Homo-oligomer: A and B are copies of this chain.
Amino acid sequence: MKIYFNNRISRRKIEELFSRPSIDNNAAYKVVEPIIRDVKQRGDRAVINYSRKYDRFTGDSIRVSEKELTDSVKKISNELKEAVSLSARNIEKFHREQIPREYSIETVKGVLCGRKFTSIENVGLYIPGGSAVLISTILMLAIPAKIAGCKRIVLCSPCIGKKLNDAFLYTAEYLGIDEIYKVGGAQAIAMMAYGTERVRKVDKIFGPGNQYVTAAKSLVSIDPDGCAIDMPAGPSELLIVADQSANPVYVAADLLSQSEHGKDSQVILITSDSEFAESVKEQINMQIKQLPRRSIVKQSLKSSFILVVNNINEAIEMSNKYAPEHLIMNFNRAENSLDKIKNAGSVFIGNYSPESAGDYSSGTNHSLPTYGYAKSFG
């Protein structure tokens, strides 16, 4: 990771550093648009067709059977079962507090106005496949839906071969979700948005995904026949504001843990201390050697950087402008500066609050606004 000094580079260079890799949605729209149209018209046949073609699905039925679900329970270690139940418990505890308050008040004499919340009846949750089994994402999306009281929760995830991963199935079974489809990509989004012969349409789709999934979500969200979506998704990112009171070993580990998410992840450290910047850089070079996913890390570190600024307030201002998905505040009395944070998805405070805790088990949600969307989404 390269170290820059705010005082020694131009404003334009700083803007360039903080600018996210531009997303060419138009290319993705061109790819997914015919897939969506085809699923809308031909239904299940089109869904199976694209699943075979793009996900290398080889099964007969796209729906997960009851047997597959119950079988999964036997194949999971007790350790994993305990991890799932610990995470689930914390997520539930944290999210129960978010049930919005209903009220009614008399605005003028005799005029009683109130607010009531009803849950969305049918929700579709998209769980990405690919290089990691994202059982945490099932928990993060399904537990709030259950707390909200959604009647029908549908899961979709790409399936290579005939069967979904056992840990995935176990987590769904643990949460009592039984409508699961082995379908990924734009075909999964179209299937949920419009419905097919066998799959009833949903009212809103949630969950992250690659650029094609995101493009498909965008397109169905602006089609009156489609359905609503949570928000657009971009590559994952982390910004750390730290001073010399932070532990460079931890800060380096935090940066690396996020950079291994994907080649297009961006991690940024802004610090008021140039020696600290050097220590973190050294630590990164050391720790990277032990990482099994270091080839991904090396790629993502290319668009990442360390910036040395004059003071912490300057760093916070820059962070507000960038609006990071994840923000770690690791400096002296960071908790007192929380009110200065205007735009960020999830904020982690102090030496002992790694972002990974929020990714899995602390209880907060990891489905967050990326790509500066923290400026417009909660």
Chain B residue contacts of A371, Cβ below 8 A: 224
Q: Does A113 contact B (CB under 8 A)?
A: yes
In angstroms, how far is the closest chain B Cβ from the Cβ of A239? 16
Q: Does A7 contact B (CB under 8 A)?
A: no
Q: Does A158 contact B (CB under 8 A)?
A: no
**B-contact bits for A84-128, CB 8 A (1 contact / 0 none):** 000000100110011011010101100101011110110000000
Chain B residue contacts of A227, Cβ below 8 A: 376
A94, B113: Cβ atoms closer than 8 Å:
yes
Q: Which of B25, B113, B363 contacts A364 (CB 8 A)?
A: B113
Query: Which positions 357-377 of chain A face chain B at CB distance < 8 Å?
Result: 357, 362-364, 371, 373, 375-377
Chain B residue contacts of A120, Cβ below 8 A: 375-376
In angstroms, how far is the closest chain B Cβ from the Cβ of A237? 14
**B-contact bits for A328-352, CB 8 A (1 contact / 0 none):** 0000000000100111000100000
A234, B224: Cβ atoms closer than 8 Å:
yes
| Cα–Cα, bound, A180→B23 (Å) | 32
| Cα–Cα, bound, A349→B357 (Å) | 47
Q: Does A203 contact B (CB under 8 A)?
A: yes
Q: Which of B25, B113, B342, B376 contacts A223 (CB 8 A)?
A: B25
Q: Does A177 contact B (CB under 8 A)?
A: no
Copies in the complex: 2
Q: Which chain B residue has the least Cβ–Cβ distance from A118?
A: B342
Chain B residue contacts of A221, Cβ below 8 A: 218, 221-222
Q: Does A175 contact B (CB under 8 A)?
A: no
| Cα–Cα, bound, A364→B338 (Å) | 33
B118, A343: Cβ atoms closer than 8 Å:
yes
Q: Which chain B residue has the least Cβ–Cβ distance from A372?
A: B224
Q: Which of B116, B362, B373 contacts A113 (CB 8 A)?
A: B362
| Cα–Cα, bound, A23→B222 (Å) | 11
A338, B107: Cβ atoms closer than 8 Å:
no
Contacts A120-B375, A218-B222, A224-B234 known; list 6 others, CB within 8 Å. A25-B222, A97-B105, A107-B363, A116-B347, A224-B232, A228-B373
A-B contact pairs, 21 of them (CB 8 A): A23-B224, A25-B222, A25-B223, A90-B111, A97-B105, A97-B115, A107-B362, A107-B363, A116-B338, A116-B347, A120-B375, A120-B376, A218-B221, A218-B222, A219-B222, A221-B222, A222-B232, A224-B232, A224-B234, A224-B371, A228-B377
